[in-house]
Amino acid sequence: MVKEIKLVQNVLKANERVSEQNRNIFAENQLLAINIIGSPGAGKTTLLERIIQNIVERKAIAVIEGDIYTTRDAQRIEACGVDVVQINTGGGCHLDAPMVQEALTNLDLDELDLLIIENVGNLVCPAAYNLGEDFKMVVMSITEGDDKPEKYPRIFQEAKVLVVTKVDLLKYNQFDMDRFLAEVRGINPGIKVFQISNLTGDGIKELVGWLEEQRNYKREEQICSV
Protein backbone atom coordinates (compact mmCIF):
# COMPACT_ATOMS: atom_id res chain seq x y z
CA MET A 1 0.00 0.00 0.00
CA VAL A 2 1.16 3.48 -0.81
CA LYS A 3 1.21 6.07 1.95
CA GLU A 4 2.77 9.41 2.68
CA ILE A 5 5.17 10.12 5.53
CA LYS A 6 5.52 13.75 6.61
CA LEU A 7 9.12 14.60 7.41
CA VAL A 8 9.96 18.31 7.23
CA GLN A 9 13.66 17.79 7.92
CA ASN A 10 16.27 20.36 7.13
CA VAL A 11 18.66 18.97 4.53
CA LEU A 12 21.56 20.71 6.28
CA LYS A 13 20.60 19.61 9.79
CA ALA A 14 23.74 17.49 10.26
CA ASN A 15 25.93 20.48 9.40
CA GLU A 16 23.80 22.86 11.49
CA ARG A 17 24.19 20.64 14.55
CA VAL A 18 27.98 20.64 14.34
CA SER A 19 28.09 24.35 13.51
CA GLU A 20 26.18 25.00 16.78
CA GLN A 21 28.83 22.97 18.63
CA ASN A 22 31.55 25.03 16.97
CA ARG A 23 29.75 28.23 17.92
CA ASN A 24 29.75 27.09 21.56
CA ILE A 25 33.46 26.24 21.40
CA PHE A 26 34.19 29.74 20.06
CA ALA A 27 32.04 31.33 22.77
CA GLU A 28 33.68 29.34 25.59
CA ASN A 29 37.09 30.42 24.37
CA GLN A 30 36.12 34.07 23.78
CA LEU A 31 37.20 33.64 20.23
CA LEU A 32 35.95 35.75 17.32
CA ALA A 33 35.58 33.49 14.28
CA ILE A 34 35.31 34.90 10.75
CA ASN A 35 34.42 32.93 7.63
CA ILE A 36 35.99 34.52 4.53
CA ILE A 37 34.25 33.70 1.25
CA GLY A 38 35.05 34.81 -2.28
CA SER A 39 35.86 33.62 -5.80
CA PRO A 40 39.27 32.19 -6.75
CA GLY A 41 41.55 35.15 -7.38
CA ALA A 42 39.45 37.70 -5.48
CA GLY A 43 42.44 38.35 -3.23
CA LYS A 44 41.37 36.51 -0.06
CA THR A 45 44.80 35.20 0.90
CA THR A 46 46.59 38.45 0.09
CA LEU A 47 43.99 40.33 2.12
CA LEU A 48 44.59 37.93 4.99
CA GLU A 49 48.35 38.62 4.80
CA ARG A 50 47.68 42.37 4.90
CA ILE A 51 45.29 42.05 7.83
CA ILE A 52 47.75 39.96 9.86
CA GLN A 53 50.65 42.30 9.07
CA ASN A 54 48.59 45.21 10.40
CA ILE A 55 47.58 43.59 13.67
CA VAL A 56 49.95 44.16 16.58
CA GLU A 57 48.75 41.35 18.87
CA ARG A 58 49.55 38.62 16.38
CA LYS A 59 50.10 35.81 18.86
CA ALA A 60 46.38 35.40 19.51
CA ILE A 61 45.48 34.88 15.84
CA ALA A 62 45.06 31.57 14.04
CA VAL A 63 43.98 30.77 10.52
CA ILE A 64 42.20 27.77 9.04
CA GLU A 65 42.94 27.47 5.33
CA GLY A 66 40.45 25.69 3.12
CA ASP A 67 41.80 24.52 -0.21
CA ILE A 68 40.83 21.79 -2.59
CA TYR A 69 44.28 20.23 -3.03
CA THR A 70 47.27 22.42 -2.18
CA THR A 71 48.98 23.93 0.88
CA ARG A 72 50.11 27.05 -1.00
CA ASP A 73 47.90 29.49 0.89
CA ALA A 74 48.75 27.93 4.25
CA GLN A 75 52.47 28.37 3.58
CA ARG A 76 51.94 32.05 2.76
CA ILE A 77 49.99 32.64 5.97
CA GLU A 78 52.46 30.71 8.11
CA ALA A 79 55.18 33.04 6.85
CA CYS A 80 53.25 35.89 8.52
CA GLY A 81 53.96 34.30 11.90
CA VAL A 82 50.58 32.89 12.92
CA ASP A 83 49.33 29.35 13.52
CA VAL A 84 47.72 27.76 10.45
CA VAL A 85 45.72 24.58 10.02
CA GLN A 86 45.21 23.32 6.49
CA ILE A 87 42.02 21.60 5.41
CA ASN A 88 42.15 19.92 2.01
CA THR A 89 38.66 19.12 0.82
CA GLY A 90 39.96 16.76 -1.90
CA GLY A 91 37.59 18.07 -4.53
CA GLY A 92 34.87 19.49 -2.27
CA CYS A 93 33.71 22.98 -3.22
CA HIS A 94 33.17 24.28 0.34
CA LEU A 95 34.19 23.78 3.98
CA ASP A 96 31.63 22.30 6.33
CA ALA A 97 31.25 22.46 10.10
CA PRO A 98 32.68 18.96 10.86
CA MET A 99 35.87 19.77 8.90
CA VAL A 100 36.34 22.93 10.96
CA GLN A 101 35.66 21.10 14.21
CA GLU A 102 38.39 18.62 13.40
CA ALA A 103 40.78 21.41 12.49
CA LEU A 104 40.13 23.04 15.88
CA THR A 105 41.73 20.07 17.65
CA ASN A 106 45.07 21.24 16.21
CA LEU A 107 44.84 24.68 17.79
CA ASP A 108 45.47 25.94 21.30
CA LEU A 109 42.12 27.72 21.62
CA ASP A 110 42.89 29.10 25.10
CA GLU A 111 45.60 31.27 23.64
CA LEU A 112 43.53 32.66 20.77
CA ASP A 113 41.00 35.41 20.38
CA LEU A 114 40.75 35.69 16.59
CA LEU A 115 40.21 32.77 14.24
CA ILE A 116 40.02 33.49 10.52
CA ILE A 117 38.71 30.72 8.29
CA GLU A 118 39.51 31.12 4.61
CA ASN A 119 36.95 29.09 2.72
CA VAL A 120 37.50 27.35 -0.62
CA GLY A 121 37.48 29.86 -3.50
CA ASN A 122 33.83 29.85 -4.56
CA LEU A 123 31.06 32.44 -4.35
CA VAL A 124 28.17 29.96 -4.26
CA CYS A 125 28.41 26.83 -2.12
CA PRO A 126 30.27 28.07 1.00
CA ALA A 127 27.39 30.51 1.63
CA ALA A 128 25.07 27.60 2.44
CA TYR A 129 27.26 25.93 5.07
CA ASN A 130 27.51 27.61 8.45
CA LEU A 131 30.73 26.79 10.24
CA GLY A 132 29.76 28.29 13.60
CA GLU A 133 31.44 31.60 12.76
CA ASP A 134 30.47 34.97 14.23
CA PHE A 135 30.04 36.37 10.75
CA LYS A 136 30.80 35.87 7.07
CA MET A 137 33.05 38.27 5.17
CA VAL A 138 32.58 38.30 1.41
CA VAL A 139 35.62 39.36 -0.61
CA MET A 140 35.04 40.49 -4.19
CA SER A 141 37.47 42.11 -6.60
CA ILE A 142 36.36 44.82 -9.01
CA THR A 143 37.69 42.78 -11.94
CA GLU A 144 34.87 40.28 -11.34
CA GLY A 145 32.36 42.87 -12.57
CA ASP A 146 29.75 45.11 -10.95
CA ASP A 147 26.83 42.83 -11.85
CA LYS A 148 27.65 40.04 -9.41
CA PRO A 149 25.43 40.73 -6.37
CA GLU A 150 22.23 39.79 -8.17
CA LYS A 151 23.91 36.75 -9.73
CA TYR A 152 25.14 35.45 -6.36
CA PRO A 153 22.60 36.95 -3.96
CA ARG A 154 22.94 34.40 -1.18
CA ILE A 155 26.43 35.34 -0.10
CA PHE A 156 25.70 39.08 -0.23
CA GLN A 157 22.62 38.43 1.88
CA GLU A 158 24.43 36.29 4.45
CA ALA A 159 27.59 38.37 4.88
CA LYS A 160 27.99 41.00 7.59
CA VAL A 161 30.86 42.68 5.78
CA LEU A 162 31.94 43.10 2.17
CA VAL A 163 35.53 43.83 1.21
CA VAL A 164 35.90 45.14 -2.36
CA THR A 165 39.47 44.48 -3.49
CA LYS A 166 41.73 45.70 -6.32
CA VAL A 167 40.30 49.23 -6.26
CA ASP A 168 43.67 50.44 -7.58
CA LEU A 169 42.50 48.97 -10.92
CA LEU A 170 39.33 51.09 -11.08
CA LYS A 171 40.91 53.46 -13.60
CA TYR A 172 41.52 50.57 -16.01
CA ASN A 173 38.11 49.02 -15.56
CA GLN A 174 34.46 49.64 -16.44
CA PHE A 175 33.38 48.70 -12.91
CA ASP A 176 30.68 51.12 -11.69
CA MET A 177 31.10 51.30 -7.90
CA ASP A 178 27.86 53.25 -7.32
CA ARG A 179 25.80 50.77 -9.29
CA PHE A 180 27.50 47.87 -7.55
CA LEU A 181 27.00 49.22 -4.04
CA ALA A 182 23.36 50.12 -4.77
CA GLU A 183 22.76 46.54 -5.86
CA VAL A 184 24.54 45.13 -2.78
CA ARG A 185 22.54 47.35 -0.41
CA GLY A 186 19.30 46.44 -2.17
CA ILE A 187 19.97 42.85 -1.16
CA ASN A 188 21.52 43.57 2.25
CA PRO A 189 20.95 47.16 3.46
CA GLY A 190 22.95 46.69 6.67
CA ILE A 191 26.14 45.28 5.14
CA LYS A 192 29.40 46.98 6.13
CA VAL A 193 31.59 47.82 3.12
CA PHE A 194 35.33 48.40 2.82
CA GLN A 195 37.07 49.32 -0.43
CA ILE A 196 40.68 48.29 -0.38
CA SER A 197 43.78 47.69 -2.43
CA ASN A 198 46.11 44.94 -1.30
CA LEU A 199 48.75 46.42 -3.58
CA THR A 200 48.79 50.03 -2.35
CA GLY A 201 47.42 49.28 1.13
CA ASP A 202 44.51 51.72 0.71
CA GLY A 203 41.63 50.97 3.07
CA ILE A 204 43.45 48.20 4.99
CA LYS A 205 43.86 50.26 8.19
CA GLU A 206 40.12 51.06 8.30
CA LEU A 207 39.25 47.38 7.82
CA VAL A 208 41.71 46.24 10.49
CA GLY A 209 40.36 48.91 12.87
CA TRP A 210 36.85 47.57 12.38
CA LEU A 211 38.01 43.98 12.89
CA GLU A 212 39.76 44.96 16.14
CA GLU A 213 36.47 46.53 17.30
CA GLN A 214 34.63 43.28 16.59
CA ARG A 215 37.32 41.38 18.45
CA ASN A 216 36.88 43.64 21.49
CA TYR A 217 33.08 43.36 21.38
CA LYS A 218 33.41 39.58 21.49
CA ARG A 219 35.74 39.73 24.51
CA GLU A 220 33.40 42.12 26.37
CA GLU A 221 30.32 40.12 25.44
CA GLN A 222 31.87 37.08 27.08
CA ILE A 223 32.88 38.95 30.22
CA CYS A 224 29.29 40.22 30.59
CA SER A 225 27.72 36.81 30.18
CA VAL A 226 30.01 35.01 32.67
Q: Which residues bind another protein (CB under 8 A)?
A: 1-15, 92-94, 122, 124-125, 127-129, 150, 152-154, 157, 186-190
Q: Nearer to another protein by C-beta: 13 or 171? A: 13
Instruction: Give the Cα separation of 189 and 182 in Å (integer).
Output: 9
Q: Supply the minimum distance, in Å, between the C-beta of residue 166 and another protein.
A: 24
Q: Supply the minimum distance, in Å, between the C-beta of residue 129 and another protein.
A: 8
Q: Nearer to another protein by C-beta: 91 or 223? A: 91
Q: Nearer to another protein by C-beta: 150 or 202? A: 150
Alpha-carbon Rg for the chain, nearest whole angstrom, is 18
Q: Nearer to another protein by C-beta: 151 or 205? A: 151
Instruction: Give the Cα separation of 109 and 144 in Å (integer).
Output: 36
Farthest CA pair distance, the chain: 70
Q: Is the CB of residue 112 less than 8 Å from the CB of residue 63?
A: no
Q: Supply the minimum distance, in Å, between the C-beta of residue 3 and another protein.
A: 6
Q: Supply the minimum distance, in Å, between the C-beta of residue 163 and another protein.
A: 21
Instruction: Give the Cα separation of 162 and 123 in Å (integer).
Output: 13
HSE at residue 80, side-chain half, CA atoms within 13 A, is 26
